[in-house]
Structure 1
Amino acid sequence: MDAFDHHILRALQNNSRISSEVLGAEIGLSPSACQRRIKKLKQQGVIKQEVAVLDASQLPGFITTLVDITLERGGETALDEFIHALEAESQVQQFYYVAGDVDFVVIVVTQDMKAYDALSRRLFMSNQNIKKFSTKVVIQPGKVGLELPV
């Protein structure tokens, strides 16, 4: 990847619908060169997908929770099974396998507390490989970003 690719990635992270003409004018490439580079970045998997980012504060009732999870030491199979369960759950927005006091930090967004309770019973309480988990309810989000510093 060269400097042009980095410029393209920064621009697309800010606005994935920017036209090739505007992008090219901003970074000094022709529109067709921008299109070729974007296509290549998609083929390489650098650009994974394009999405609309919703503002949860504009939609009623959503609750964001941060869940710290400590697993029993069940081996690699138990770890893989838990990761697959997290990946399959649409209400799990993000999760991180971490070093430190806990094994995972999971960010969950549910419609309300009743939905979070159902999810925690299904995903955490019923899982024999979870030693303990603790939940923190977000009162007000701070900075929420998806941009990588390329």
Structure 2
Amino acid sequence: MPKPLALDDVDHELLGLLQRDSGRTLRELGDLVSLSPSAVQRRIDRYRRHGLIARQVTLLDPARVPAVLLAVCLVTLERESGRRHQEFRERLLAASEVQQAYDVSGEWDYVVMVACSGMAHHTEVAKRLFDEAPNVRRYTTLFVLDPVRTSGALPTRVE
């Protein structure tokens, strides 16, 4: 694991701004953190070089996407070798419907967020990911009724 990138107060502020809206211009960002556009660009380039910025994406408002069906799936695997867990992870990584997946502690082994184009699509995805997986002991699905908050922003300061 590479050494974490040392961040100053401006870095923390800039990273927070980028996580809320990376579509701002360099000038707008610079005005907000009191840097020139070129200084902002150098910092962003440094974040990318060190892998702090993994990628830039556009987040759609799930309430405005027609017929989108969001679901939280809680999964328990059979207590087998780490190889079986790796196979399950690879299955999740290969599925475009999987928006997020977490290996968690407690009663469940994984929390998997999926986005589907309707109930029939969700049924197909659940069959492919969970029913046909040789090491899934059980799973349950919670359908999202109202996506109250869909942020992916992470804190950058340890307090």
TM-score, scaled to structure 2:
0.90
Runs of 4+ deviating beyond 6 Å: none
Q: Which structure 1 residue ranges, 5 or more long, are not aligned?
A: none
Aligned length: 150
SS in 1 for 2:76: strand
Q: Specify the alignment match of 1:141 in structure 2.
A: 147
Q: Specify the alignment match of 2:4 in structure 1.
A: none
Given candidates 23, 41, 51, the residue that maps to 2:57 is: 51
Given candidates 63, 67, 77, the residue that maps to 2:73 is: 67
Q: Deviations over 1:2-37 (max 9, x none)?
A: 111111101111221212222122212222111111
SS in 1 for 2:74: strand
Q: Deviations over 1:81-129 (max 9, x none)?
A: 1011101111010011000001001111100110011111111101110
- Counterparts of 1:1-150 in structure 2, within 5 Å, are 1-150=7-156
Post-superposition offset of 1:149: 2.3
Which whole-Å CA distance do the structure 2 matches of 1:143 and 1:19 have between them? 25
SS in 2 for 1:127: coil
Is the CA contact 2:62–2:147 (under 8 Å) kept in the aligned structure 1?
A: no
Q: Percent identity?
A: 35
Which whole-Å CA distance do the structure 2 matches of 1:22 and 1:55 have between them? 24
Which whole-Å CA distance do the structure 2 matches of 1:56 and 1:85 have between them? 24
TM-score, scaled to structure 1:
0.95
Which whole-Å CA distance do the structure 2 matches of 1:11 and 1:139 have between them? 29
The root-mean-square deviation of aligned C-alpha atoms, in Å, is: 1.0
Further displaced range: 93-102 or 21-30: 21-30
Q: Which structure 2 residue ranges, 5 or more long, are not aligned?
A: 1-6
